[in-house]
Amino acid sequence: MANLFVGNLPYTCDDANLAGVFAKAGTVVSAKVITDKYSGRSRGFGFVQMSSDEETKKAIELLNGSDFEGRPLVVNEARPPKTGNV
């Protein structure tokens, strides 16, 4: 199962809204909107995990560039975080 990066989210979006959008593509294992730790406000991006690789691919095809509350979503496979010092 791949983790999906979802960008260009409206700042009003929460975890439940995000999961609802991705439910169109299949079973959502987890959906998390990243928030600012001080204000609690959305930072405009999040991560979604689908239940299978097929659903992950379907979500990218179906939702990348689609309109969500007036904003085109950016959906692609999340890259692992960078580790170590540069």
pLDDT digits (tens, 9 = 90+) for 52-63: 999 999 999 999
Model confidence pLDDT, tens digit, residues 21-32: 999 999 999 999
Number of independent structural domains in the chain: 1
CATH code of residue 33 = 3.30.70.330
Q: What's the pTM? A: 0.89
81 falls within a domain: no
User: 3-state DSSP call for residue 39?
Assistant: coil
Q: What mean pLDDT comes out for the span 65-69?
A: 96
Q: Which helix (H) or strand (E) holds 68?
A: strand 67-68
R_g over Cα of the chain: 13
Q: Is residue 86 part of a domain?
A: no
Q: 34: domain range?
A: 3-72
